[in-house]
Amino acid sequence: MKDGSMLRNLSVNKLIKKALLNKEVVQAKSGALVVYTGKYTGRSPNDKFIVDSPKVHNQINWGKINVPISETNYQKLFQKTSDFFSAQKEIYVVDVLVGAQKKHSIKLRVYCQYAYQALFSTHLFRRPTDVRTGRDLSLQNFKPNLTLYCAPSVLADPKTDGTNSEAFIVLNIDKKTILIGATKYAGEIKKSVFTYMNYLLPQKEIFPMHCSANIEKSGKTTSLFFGLSGTGKTTLSADPERRLIGDDEHGWSPQGVFNFEGGCYAKCIRIKKESEPQIWSAIHRKGALVENVVLKKDGDFDFDSDKFTENTRAVYPLEFIKNSIASGSGKHPKYVIFLTADASGVLPPVARLTLNQAAYHFLSGYTSKLAGTERGIIEPKPTFSAYFAGPFMPLKPMVYLNLLKKYLKKYKTRVFLVNTGWIGGAYGVGRRIPVYETRNIVTAVLSGQLDRGDCRHDKIFNLYVPNKVPGVDQKILDPALLWPDKKSYLQTAKNLARLFVENMKKYPGVYQSIINSGPPAL
């Protein structure tokens, strides 16, 4: 690649001007930028690969998620990508950090075809600055530990390149390189880097987590929210009464919790100012980058429209959230909340978990995959994604499970399961649990009000459900009470419990004590 064509570490304002000048984006009335990503409006999991090599072969949990590609085919794709960038008049280069704890961070260099991709990377990752002077260190002897090339105009040929389509997201662990082609969806940048961190950190006994994190204003009590896309990680962690550490990707080390990122990537379909004021405000700031949201004739956002996708997104730097923590770090968590969005309408909205129950539900990672998050998902679909992050965890299951148990036990962290899904019936019949009810549940958890107290035992799911939660309508604590047809509820609940049992059979090495902590075989 030609050095003369490289635009290195441009400021946010310059990237905005470039993106507008190149007509990559349009500008909303608020000053935010909007990009339309074409047919790729979500992650493309069938186009993701890891290069198989002798070094990593026995470490990777190969299967439908972690799919191998040969070094030979990687080289073909790398050559295509390299040739493409060499022919460009302008290439955007961004140098950033991944990981707020210096001891466990990496240096990332991103080569981008488009200015909006460089803006995305600048917002999302952590900018390398001198903590004493605030001076930008991007150009001072920056030697990347990981290099990512993102070129949507480069297309794979499945017949010769070993891919499934024109799109490719390829991680080469040996060469510390990521290739992304054919897709303009910026979330591929984020999640491919996350996958690399999830390979790297466990080898240092650091626990990588797909979770959001916040902390009391006093700085004493840190809380984590695990969950797949659409379960409420971003929404529930952006709490005006608490300070935000980060909304999606964190590590847990002996020094505490730390954010991998320096920005947020929030879903914004049907977002309301009243229920999510902080995120609403951040999206409307000048410099925010919004994906696939329809603009009205007056240039304002139409968040209710799913014309292009349900998976509308916005990326913005963490400082757009007023009460965020610039350091991206917090103390060891006192509470962990596992979030699920159950579209079958039968899981209770909150349950208190033992250590073995926590291990069971961490390995299960149950939710209903919501429309738009991945290509081809039109309506909610039951899914089990281990660690609430299966698509991004390349190592074998027991690695992550053992790290969870180690940290929970060592720091005496309490765990709760919170369902943000449907009540009164399944999707299409019932209604989603109101955000204010979920917020009240979370407030009760984080204030310690549910640490003790009477619980009923849900025999179908083997869960202990608090009988009372301050500020929450008692009727919603027992899903069966809101179903007009009790037989239908019972059958639906048993069907879901069977899915849990069947899913756990994928993990033959799991202790029986953990198996016994989930739903019983019916």
396 has catalytic annotation: no
Catalytic-labelled residue, pool 80, 109, 191, 267 = 191
CATH of residue 161: 3.40.449.10
Last residue in a domain, options 204, 230, 249: 204
52 has catalytic annotation: no
Q: With contact defined as beta carbons under 8 Å apart, do 338 and 318 qualify?
A: no
pLDDT number for residue 132: 45
Listed as own residue / partner, the contacts of 129-136 with beta carbons closer than 8 Å and 24 or more positions apart are 136/9
Nearest to 6, CA basis, from 112, 120, 124, 140: 112
Structure tokens at 271: 């977002």
E-strand stretches of 194-297 = 207-216, 222-226, 242-246, 249-253, 256-259, 263-267, 289-291, 294-295
Q: Is residue 453 part of a domain?
A: yes
Q: Is residue 152 part of a domain?
A: yes
Q: Where are the alpha helices (DSSP H) in 125-232?
A: 158-161, 187-200
Residue type at 381? K
Q: Is residue 488 part of a domain?
A: yes
248 has catalytic annotation: yes
Structure tokens at 206: 């650091």
Task: Please state the domain count of the chain.
Answer: 2
102 has catalytic annotation: no
Q: Please, what is the angle between helix 486-504 and helix 355-364, to 10°?
A: 90
Which structural domain range is residue 369 located in?
A: 329-515
Q: Is residue 496 part of a domain?
A: yes
CATH of residue 386: 3.90.228.20
Nearest to 236, CA basis, from 439, 388, 379: 439
Residue keyed to tokens 């090495």: 509
Catalytic-labelled residue, pool 43, 184, 242, 375 = 43
Mean pLDDT per segment of 10 residues, for the chain of length 522 residues? Answer: 81 96 98 97 96 97 96 98 96 96 96 98 87 55 95 98 98 98 98 98 97 91 92 86 94 98 94 92 97 97 96 95 93 97 96 98 91 56 92 95 97 98 93 94 96 95 97 94 95 97 92 95 80
Catalytic-labelled residue, pool 47, 95, 161, 248 = 248
Q: Is residue 164 part of a domain?
A: yes
Catalytic-labelled residue, pool 81, 234, 373, 517 = 234
Q: Is residue 301 part of a domain?
A: no
Catalytic-labelled residue, pool 48, 104, 184, 233 = 233
Last residue in a domain, options 180, 204, 228: 204
Catalytic-labelled residue, pool 126, 210, 375, 414 = 210
Last residue in a domain, options 155, 182, 204: 204
175 has catalytic annotation: no
Show Cβ contacts of residue 256 under 8 Å, excluding neighbours closer than 6 positions. Answer: 222, 329, 330, 331, 332
Q: Is residue 243 part of a domain?
A: no
pLDDT number for residue 186: 98
Rounded distance between C-alpha atoms, residue 327 and residue 105, angstroms: 13
pLDDT number for residue 275: 85
pLDDT number for residue 139: 58
Q: Is residue 79 part of a domain?
A: yes
Supply the pTM of this predicted model.
0.93
Catalytic-labelled residue, pool 81, 177, 222, 229 = 229
234 has catalytic annotation: yes
Rounded distance between C-alpha atoms, residue 65 and residue 390, angstroms: 8
